[in-house]
Amino acid sequence: MRLAVIPGDGIGPEVIAEALKVLGEVVPAAEITRYDLGAARWHATGELLPESVLGELRQHDAILLGAVGDPSVPSGILERGLLLRLRFELDHHVNLRPARLYPGVRSPLADPPEIDMVVVREGTEGPYAGNGGLLRKDTPHEIATEVSLNTSFGVERVVRDAFARASNRQRRHLTLVHKTNVLTHAGSLWSRVVEEVSLQHPDVTVAYQHVDAATIHMVTDPGRYDVIVTDNLFGDILTDLAAAVTGGIGLAASGNMDVTRRNPSMFEPVHGSAPDIAGQGIADPTAAVLSVALLLDHLGEHESARRIEASVAFDLATRDHQSPGQTYAIGDRLAALVSSNVRTG
Amino acid sequence: MRLAVIPGDGIGPEVIAEALKVLGEVVPAAEITRYDLGAARWHATGELLPESVLGELRQHDAILLGAVGDPSVPSGILERGLLLRLRFELDHHVNLRPARLYPGVRSPLADPPEIDMVVVREGTEGPYAGNGGLLRKDTPHEIATEVSLNTSFGVERVVRDAFARASNRQRRHLTLVHKTNVLTHAGSLWSRVVEEVSLQHPDVTVAYQHVDAATIHMVTDPGRYDVIVTDNLFGDILTDLAAAVTGGIGLAASGNMDVTRRNPSMFEPVHGSAPDIAGQGIADPTAAVLSVALLLDHLGEHESARRIEASVAFDLATRDHQSPGQTYAIGDRLAALVSSNVRTG
Ligand SMILES: CC(C)[C@H](C(=O)O)[C@@H](O)C(=O)O
Ligand SMILES: CC(C)[C@H](C(=O)O)[C@@H](O)C(=O)O
């Protein structure tokens, strides 16, 4: 197993260290190459993602990323030039974001139901296409545009993936989230594709919700969701909200996947670089560790993935949530649990 | 006071009847003209918003709208052809959406703080511009686009309005919500305008949040928000979420305002036509009643607006939230409270 690791900025390197500690327990022979992409490299060299590095990354089975972003870098530079560039260059069309409320974890909701959903967020088009511009900048007649690009090709492949995932889950329920009553063109395409693909999945029940209504249900009735499929921007918004109601982005893992396997997929915690707490050793590495489980699942190492998940579930059920411990201590606990092959549930 | 009333679809007419009952207590002389726009008219005549009706609407001081939308009409027809057409034709650039957690109201949050925010949502451009299209429809090469249009003119006027509102509030805090790290063009325009206008409002503290992060704080720390200014689509999403955390869209009022007063502003509950409960007389008319208070405020009838708000606050603090009563009964209660000039607080 050849893994590229991009620790990145802020708390990225801190949580990645623990994620690799845990990985070492299940795949001790993993071959790991680190890449120093991020704010420091940009400051030092002006480089974001050199072609040569991109070429090397392609030679790996998967990529593990910590976090990208730093207040010293103007907004958008690292995001568009590094993180989104990786997602687009490596055709990460399935942005997989599970959200589960683990036993023991406190939700901000008063009366949380069982929550176990997975958001399949499109990852390579929509409003993230980077298509837009400024006209007459800094004049009273300035116009700024952002063009959401949605293709039959792009929508269909992610919708197929979402249906396949729904088929393999217990509830077999899929919710399309969009804003078809306003974004009528993109909404029409998404709706038609979901309708067509659903014909091949009579086992999956299908629902539709406008994105605004979905945010309401995410706080009043999140248990209703099984698989959500949605576009790149709505997926960005909904997954942070889903993470919040399931105990916070300290626990939210994600996979940026090319499910055709032509390119390496990239796994990362949903939280960012969190500059406010960086360097203090207090970041929760759980999301990074759960991202390793997603990575292992993607590479077919399901048994190892389950071991990591069970360890996280055990730790969350038993930890003191007021003071869960330093970053390294949580990593140590999880590594020990994985090595003792704890099982839950 | 010449008011145009569009009861609309579903529960629209039900809640509007109660809103007018309450209005009658404070402005008995209001001259009211009803317009039967909505699903029924479209089915009967194919008309959505005839020019002649639009012309008549313009002759009024304000418009009160119930709700628009019906499952028998394809998605987007009524929304784009009637509701959004009204907002755009009448230049409703300030879409005002307060969200307050009233004493006695149960939030879905476990530990809700005091919540009292107002979202100033841009109402006439952004992704709602209706600019986009389909190419090669129903082929494997189909492309759907949606173009977000943002102008210096459009952004500046709503940002100015938001700062003015923040200036008049106790906390004097304004949060710009956008996604500047991805939507870099529109984000750049919004950020620069907020920065410029803030120079003229040294009394207002300014914060920025990405929309995804804002959804997290909306459930973990909603008390932090005072005034939020944001674009049309982010505002749509955030205001439903804000309504949810403050007890539901049964209570959320809104104003679609042309603050230049060149066109009549339009006031409406944020909830939709709710076809699932229409005709049963069980819809909560409180949001429609609070929309009347916003309408009165806009027309300078502040004393009457305060009376309605105080009555709603009293009713919410004292009502049995398990069975608040039929639509008409809530309306009766609120009308009686208004007429007895109840005061709270
Ligand atoms: C950092 C940013 C570009 C990114 C996104 O918007 O996709 C982040 O919010 C995420 O969800 O991974
Ligand atoms: C019905 C729909 C067009 C509308 C919107 O998106 O603005 C509604 O959701 C709202 O918030 O008033």
B137 and B189 in a single domain? The answer is yes
A242 and A274 in a single domain? The answer is no
Number of other residues whose CB lies within 10 A of the CB of residue A199: 7
Last residue of a domain, one of A218, A246, A274: A246
Residue A277 lies in a domain: yes
Q: How far apart, in whole angstroms, are the C-alpha atoms of residue A30 and residue A23?
A: 8
Residue A168 lies in a domain: yes
CA A311 to centroid of ligand 2, rounded, Å: 44
B116 and B200 in a single domain? The answer is yes
Q: What is the mean pLDDT of chain A?
A: 97
B338 and B219 in a single domain? The answer is no
Note the pLDDT of residue B281.
Answer: 97
Residue B50 lies in a domain: yes
A150 and A217 in a single domain? The answer is yes
Q: Binding site for substrate: what residues of B are annotated?
A: 87, 97, 121, 212
Residue A193 lies in a domain: yes
Residues of A in contact with B152 (CB under 8 A): 136, 139-143
Q: Binding site for NAD(+): what residues of B are annotated?
A: 272-284
Last residue of a domain, one of A223, A246, A269: A246
Q: Which residue in chain B is spatially nearest to A110 when comparing CA positions?
A: B110
The letter for the amino acid at B5 is V
Per-residue pLDDT tens digits for A233-243? 999 999 999 99
- Split into its structural domains, chain B has a count of 2
Say yes or no to pLDDT of A345 above 60.
no
A21 annotated active-site: no
B204 and B309 in a single domain? The answer is no
Q: What percent of chain B has pLDDT over 90?
A: 97
Note the pLDDT of residue A342.
Answer: 74
Per-residue pLDDT tens digits for B205-232? 999 999 999 999 999 999 999 999 999 9
Residue B232 lies in a domain: yes
A276 and A241 in a single domain? The answer is no
B333 and B230 in a single domain? The answer is no
A242 and A300 in a single domain? The answer is no
For range A129-135, the mean pLDDT: 97
B209 and B138 in a single domain? The answer is yes
B127 and B193 in a single domain? The answer is yes
Who among B76, B130, B148 is closest to A146 (CB)? B148
Per-residue pLDDT tens digits for B232-251? 999 999 999 999 999 998 89
Interface of B with A in 12-71 (CB under 8 A): 69
Note the pLDDT of residue B341.
Answer: 80
Q: How far are the Cα atoms of A11, A65, A324, B204, B229 from residue A274, in angstroms, in the given order?
A: 6, 14, 18, 26, 24
Residue B62 phi/psi, 5-degree rounding, is -165, 165
Q: How far apart, in whole angstroms, are the C-alpha atoms of residue A294 and residue A312?
A: 13
Residue A149 lies in a domain: yes
Q: Which residue CA neighbors atom 11 of ligand 2 most closely?
A: B236
Residue A343: pLDDT band with limits 50, 70, 90: low
A129 and A58 in a single domain? The answer is no
Per-residue pLDDT tens digits for A184-213? 999 999 999 999 999 999 999 999 999 999
End-to-end CA distance of chain A, in Å? 29
Last residue of a domain, one of A196, A220, A246: A246
Q: Which residues of chain B have pLDDT under 70?
A: 343-345
Residue A99 lies in a domain: no
Q: What is the 3-state secondary structure (H, E, C) of chain A?
A: CEEEEEEECCCHHHHHHHHHHHHHHHCCCCEEEECCCCHHHHHHHCCCCCHHHHHHHHCCCEEEEEECCCCCCCCCHHHHHHHHHHHHHCCCCEEEEEEECCCCCCCCECCCCCCEEEEEEECCCEEEEEEEEEECCCCCCCEEEEEEEEEHHHHHHHHHHHHHHHHCCCCCEEEEEECCCCCHHHHHHHHHHHHHHHHCCCCCEEEEEEHHHHHHHHHHCHHHCCEEEECHHHHHHHHHHHHHHCCCCCCCEEEEECCCCCCCEEEEECCCCCCCCCCCCCCCCHHHHHHHHHHHHHCCCHHHHHHHHHHHHHHHHHCCCCCCCCHHHHHHHHHHHHHCCCCCC
Residue B17 lies in a domain: yes
Cα angle B214-B217-B219, degrees, rounded to a multiple of 5: 115
Residues spanned by the domain of A120: 107-246
CATH code for the domain in which residue B155 is found: 3.40.718.10
Per-residue pLDDT tens digits for B9-45? 999 999 999 999 999 999 999 999 999 999 999 999 9
Who among A75, A185, A245 is closest to B134 (CB)? A185
